[in-house]
Structure 1
Amino acid sequence: MLLKDFKKIFSSTGRLRNLTREIFILFFTIIIFSLNNLTNTFLFAQDVSNYIKVGGSINLSDNFYSSSGIDRRQPANVGRGIFRTTVTIYDQIQLPFEFYISTQERKFQQPFNQFGVSPRISDWLTLHAGYYSTRISDFTFGDLRLLGGGIELTPGNFKLKVLYGKSRTATEADPQQFFPGMYKQNVYAASIGYGNESVAFFTLNLFHAKDDSNSIKRDSLTINPAENLVSSLRFGFQIIEELNIQTEVALSAYSSNLSAEKLSDFNFPEFFFTPNISSRVDGAVKLQLNFKPSNYWSLRFNGQWIGPGFTSLGYSLMPNDLMEFSVSPSVKLLNNKLNIRAQAGIRYNNLRNNRLSTTSRFTGSFNANWQMSQLFGFDFNYNNNQIKSSHTNDTLKLSNVFNSVTISPRFTFESLGGMNNLNFNYSYQNSLDKNVLTSQSSNNKTHTFGVIHSLSLPTTWSFTTSLLFNKSNTSFASTQVVSISENVGKRFFDNKLNVTLGTGINFIKTTVNDSQLFFNLNSNYSFDKYGSIGFTLSNNNYRADSQSTKTYNELYGNLQYNISF
């Protein structure tokens, strides 16, 4: 079966051959280029190493996939390249560069091929150009990648950030794919502050995002262009040596349709914000208290309130309409051999009673780690999550409880000529639906028991044996899985070559008895300063015992080269 999959990958279609040829040409071209430049850099560095230093990394990979018996679940071949380098001048100016390239093209994704540079000059000045990422605050701007420019100043306790760029690329709508389209979105942000976060500080933050309504064709099905303005004040200070507080207060204005009628009573500069009948304004507050009276115990309190109309386009996902509180104590006992951590929190919505019901969530956890001796250790974890709604109608009422318990004793000892690790693991999970109408079809319980033994020999051989039993019961079915696997590893050539072979089988029992045979190969060879090359191959062979499920085979592979300099 493996031989058939290899033939299927490396023959037949010319497109696949072209893709493979292109990635390998790119692969070895950059390798030769890198090695040549490393050699030249070494020779040249004898004169300039005192004031110019070059460092970075290159990652090149080619992934391939083949399947039979089922539809393909990922592309047949994808090549990727990631290049990062940093030039340091006089130990004061840092010029980091990033470049991404991929043979995979998807219409509804943002561009993968990206280039950016963020030079750092001394310890207080950073510039951004091209694609870059940075962060302003929790409520303004944080996880978007911009195409544009920016500057960050941090001389002493003074802090200033100014950013400008494009956060989204225009993409036309495609009704056949149920894609509503995406406007080009331009953003700017600024932050100014002073202080030391470990003692006392404050920052004023501003973020603005606006869709370009002319960047895509519009019709009755196209989404409306939007505009967003968020400002916040973030500050913190030390009340006493053991107690400090940090908080952020934010206000947002959001227009869901730039084409809506403007409000004549408000007059703002167009680059700042243009209120119209689709605009809404709301606020948000976040508070954190940290209390640490000693090295043996501490207490943290977190709370936040986010209004139902609060919106920040500076994050890919910003939840709103919520009130949340949590407390997290931790303690160390028995000369730090026993560590205990706990957490409890509650969240609810419907802050202005404009929903049909209020939904509340409770989360709680307890974790204990006890290293009794060098031979024996013990872990215990408990999690509880609850969600319920205030609906009086049983059809809409929501009341679910999720529990999980994990017990993990572990042993470390010398035997069989090497070092042994023996780990036992038992976990229990249940989901309880308290709705009188849906409880009979929604409850489930899962038991899992596992044993893992690993042996490491001085001859660089290693063996890992795993046994896993899982049983899951629902209202309609019972599933039982028994998994047995073995992994063997060996290092060769003064540990430059590392090879691991693994194989195993799963026995899956439902109303029928299926089986799954899997195999994997992992290898990596180090060329020392010239990088390393790795190859991964895995095969998944599923054998069905009935016509209701399919028998299929999948083959995954990855060839990768990495170098740091």
Structure 2
Amino acid sequence: MYKTKPFVWLGLLCFSLTTTAVGESPPLVNFSGQVGLFYDGYNYAEENYDSFRPRYPDHLLRFSAHATFSAGKYFSMPFGIDITNQKTNYRLPNLPEERFIDYIQNPRNNVSVNPTYKWAQAFLGTQTPAYSPLTTGDIPIFGLGLELTPGNFLFSLNYGKSQIGINPSPFEDIAGAYEQWMLASRIGIGQAAGTKFILQMVKLSDDQQSIDSKPNHTQPSEGITIAPLLQIKLAEQWRFSTELATSVYTDDLLGPDVTPDNELTSLAESFITVNASTNADLSNITSLEWRTDAASIGGEVRYIGPGFQPVGYRTMERDVIDYNLKTNFRLFNSKVLLSGSTGIRTNNLENTTMESTNRFIANVNLFTQLSRVVSVNTSYSNFGFRNNVAFDTLKVEMIQNLFSVSPAFQFDRTNASHIINTGASFQFFDEYNMHDGQTVSTASQTFNLGYNVALKSTPLSMGVMGLLLDNETPQSQLNLYNIGLNARYRLLDKKLTPSLLFSFSGIKRNEETPDKRKRLNLKTDYKLTPKLNFRLAYTWSNYQYGTTRPDAVTNEHRVQFSVAQRF
């Protein structure tokens, strides 16, 4: 029963709060945001394509509410709710008996309430603690959090589940995973954009009792990272920052009970389980930046130790040192914007493997507003990778260059406004082939053109677009073209807005006959009130395959409906 009730009760709650806020106490109580109900329906038909996999679920219902409730001068409560009737976002042999709390905590949903009073804020439900590059920043958790910022003081505490437990099932090709919990905290003093010192700690722990059987290729793990961060405002435009992180990580909690002879692991024994699989290391990021309203130049040195395990990040390349230079300029009243960065990365600093690698990375982006009508955006990037091995069979060397230019034209006339977008990009990729000792070159070219016109005498806008792509290697060739038409019209005093988009594509691989795809999208928006909007859309996709899959045809139909209320 609870799987349907949240949609009803949450909707009633939001609308009742709105009525109270607007009707009774407008000066003291306010409710702003958006509440919406969304439905997607999908089906398909295929001919001579038995292995075709549908791209969407048959029926998907979603409820979404993102709003802020405020009362008085100091209290506000932002909250977000995204729930769905989708059964699961992970594969299981059987759907488990799901309690209400399990339903709310499941990653397919997102429920968060973050009340704030003056300098105190609480985090309830889904949240993603983002402290620093060496501690945590991309792992969402479901739990509790608190942040206090009175004056120049800072204190944060976050605790919650970062991964659900999944029982392994080799017959269903399910690897399994342990339930995982995260604890993160920081305390410091100073100003966010000025001088400050912050001590940070993140701990990640797998629950060994969360699943019934042990996965074959996954061990329960536990780790902790402690990282002091110091930032000094040397002058009005100069800022120095350094972060030193210590990580102690146990890869297998079930490993041999032998304590490594390491001072860092000895200190961590009071916080995590330490055994023969425990490793520890240091990392550091130090930067110096000069910044004004019109320009900034900064240098950064980044060292990631070979044994450093990012507790609060899913992945991080280790055993590397980076030297980076970043620039940003705003010139001639922001008519010229130039940004760029360049750097060198070297790995295998500890000689733990046979080869070392060096990479050169650079990118530059230039935007120029030549006149009220003409603007040009240009970019260039270079990526290089090579190792220092003399043996041809182990040698790795590759270089990529990408250049693009995108002129745009926008001008008004008496009867209409016109926008023309053009673009061209060229990519060259050379890679050393260790099998035959030859360098393999890949060249890719892309050209696009778009034109849109909005009539002033009638609420009609139309447009056409085209794209051409050519990708060629010594072994294969891919050619793709796409043309499209779009139109939009406003009726009933601009309350009803029907629109359509039709596109036709051709995809040719090597000497095969091309695949052809047609897509039609019909959509209409209706504003019942200035803040209440209904949307209905239908998409049809037809794919006729060439000799890559003889006589195969697929037809897909998708219907989408939504109602959204802004406050």
Q: Same fold (TM over 0.5)?
A: yes
Amino acid of the residue matched to residue 480 of structure 1? N
Percent sequence identity is: 25
TM-fit CA distance, 1:114: 4.4
Which residue pairs with 2:53 in the alignment? 71
Is 1:58 the counterpart of 2:57? The answer is: no
Residues 477-531 of structure 1: per-residue CA shift (max 9 Å, x gap): 3332232211011122232222221112123334213322221123222233552
Taking the aligned partners of 2:351 and 2:266, their CA distance within structure 1 comes to: 32
Which residue pairs with 1:426 in the alignment? 424
Range with greater deviation from structure 2 (547-556 or 516-525) = 547-556
Which residue pairs with 2:74 in the alignment? 92
Taking the aligned partners of 1:409 and 1:482, their CA distance within structure 2 comes to: 20
The correspondence of residues 355-434 of structure 1 with structure 2, limited to 5 A, is: 355-415=353-413, 417-434=415-432
Taking the aligned partners of 2:547 and 2:230, their CA distance within structure 1 comes to: 64
Taking the aligned partners of 1:361 and 1:89, their CA distance within structure 2 comes to: 54
Amino acid of the residue matched to residue 488 of structure 1? A
Amino acid of the residue matched to residue 509 of structure 1? K
Amino acid of the residue matched to residue 353 of structure 2? R
Which residue pairs with 1:563 in the alignment? 565
Is 1:486 the counterpart of 2:468? The answer is: no
Taking the aligned partners of 1:207 and 1:97, their CA distance within structure 2 comes to: 25
Range with greater deviation from structure 2 (489-498 or 110-119) = 110-119
Q: Note closer, same or farther for the CA distance 1:402–1:562 as it changes in structure 2 (3 Å cut).
A: same
Taking the aligned partners of 1:387 and 1:257, their CA distance within structure 2 comes to: 33
Which residue pairs with 2:182 in the alignment? 187
Q: TM-score, normalization: structure 1?
A: 0.88
Which residue pairs with 1:331 in the alignment? 329
TM-fit CA distance, 1:332: 4.1
- Report the 3-state secondary structure (helix = DSSP H, G, I; strand = E; otherwise coil) of the residue aligned with 1:138: coil
Taking the aligned partners of 2:412 and 2:308, their CA distance within structure 1 comes to: 59
Q: TM-score, normalization: structure 2?
A: 0.87
Amino acid of the residue matched to residue 454 of structure 2? S
TM-fit CA distance, 1:230: 0.6
Q: Note closer, same or farther for the CA distance 1:112–1:71 as it changes in structure 2 (3 Å cut).
A: closer
Residues 264-315 of structure 1: per-residue CA shift (max 9 Å, x gap): 68776876123211111101111222113x5443312222111111112322
Amino acid of the residue matched to residue 115 of structure 2? P
The correspondence of residues 442-453 of structure 1 with structure 2, limited to 5 A, is: 442-453=440-451
Amino acid of the residue matched to residue 67 of structure 1? Y
Which residue pairs with 2:313 in the alignment? 315
Taking the aligned partners of 2:108 and 2:232, their CA distance within structure 1 comes to: 41
The correspondence of residues 105-504 of structure 1 with structure 2, limited to 5 A, is: 105-106=87-88, 108=90, 110-122=106-118, 124-219=119-214, 221=216, 223-263=218-258, 272-292=271-291, 295-334=293-332, 336-415=334-413, 417-435=415-433, 437=435, 442-458=440-456, 459-504=458-503
Is contact 2:348-2:357 (8 Å) kept?
A: yes
Taking the aligned partners of 1:165 and 1:343, their CA distance within structure 2 comes to: 37
TM-fit CA distance, 1:139: 1.5
TM-fit CA distance, 1:205: 0.7
Is contact 1:339-1:369 (8 Å) kept?
A: yes
Is contact 1:244-1:291 (8 Å) kept?
A: yes
Is 1:83 the counterpart of 2:65? The answer is: yes
Taking the aligned partners of 1:82 and 1:128, their CA distance within structure 2 comes to: 19
Q: CA RMSD in A?
A: 2.7
TM-fit CA distance, 1:437: 3.6
Which residue pairs with 1:545 in the alignment? 546
Q: Note closer, same or farther for the CA distance 1:67–1:392 as it changes in structure 2 (3 Å cut).
A: farther
Is contact 1:386-1:400 (8 Å) kept?
A: yes
- Report the 3-state secondary structure (helix = DSSP H, G, I; strand = E; otherwise coil) of the residue aligned with 1:80: strand
Unaligned stretches of 5+ in structure 2?
A: 47-51, 92-105
Taking the aligned partners of 2:10 and 2:528, their CA distance within structure 1 comes to: 16
Taking the aligned partners of 2:334 and 2:393, their CA distance within structure 1 comes to: 51
Unaligned stretches of 5+ in structure 1?
A: 1-21
Taking the aligned partners of 1:85 and 1:409, their CA distance within structure 2 comes to: 39
Is contact 1:440-1:475 (8 Å) kept?
A: no
Residues 432-476 of structure 1: per-residue CA shift (max 9 Å, x gap): 113364676953212222221110112221111112222221212
Taking the aligned partners of 2:517 and 2:89, their CA distance within structure 1 comes to: 35
Residues 65-124 of structure 1: per-residue CA shift (max 9 Å, x gap): 2222233233222221122343323222223333332121236385323433221111x1
Q: Note closer, same or farther for the CA distance 1:152–1:71 as it changes in structure 2 (3 Å cut).
A: closer
Q: Note closer, same or farther for the CA distance 1:285–1:456 as it changes in structure 2 (3 Å cut).
A: same
Taking the aligned partners of 2:413 and 2:112, their CA distance within structure 1 comes to: 53
Range with greater deviation from structure 2 (129-138 or 455-464) = 129-138
Amino acid of the residue matched to residue 226 of structure 1? S
Is contact 2:487-2:501 (8 Å) kept?
A: yes
Residues 378-437 of structure 1: per-residue CA shift (max 9 Å, x gap): 222111111222233323322111111112222222348201112221111121113364
Alignment coverage as a number of residue pairs: 538
Q: Note closer, same or farther for the CA distance 1:430–1:101 as it changes in structure 2 (3 Å cut).
A: same
Taking the aligned partners of 1:532 and 1:436, their CA distance within structure 2 comes to: 59
Amino acid of the residue matched to residue 277 of structure 1? A
Amino acid of the residue matched to residue 427 of structure 2? Q
Is contact 1:421-1:453 (8 Å) kept?
A: yes
Range with greater deviation from structure 2 (372-381 or 155-164) = 372-381
Q: Note closer, same or farther for the CA distance 1:528–1:405 as it changes in structure 2 (3 Å cut).
A: same
Taking the aligned partners of 1:81 and 1:40, their CA distance within structure 2 comes to: 22
Q: Note closer, same or farther for the CA distance 1:414–1:36 as it changes in structure 2 (3 Å cut).
A: same
Range with greater deviation from structure 2 (245-254 or 549-558) = 549-558
TM-fit CA distance, 1:352: 0.6
Amino acid of the residue matched to residue 482 of structure 1? Y
Taking the aligned partners of 2:535 and 2:337, their CA distance within structure 1 comes to: 38
Taking the aligned partners of 1:117 and 1:334, their CA distance within structure 2 comes to: 44
Is contact 2:175-2:215 (8 Å) kept?
A: no
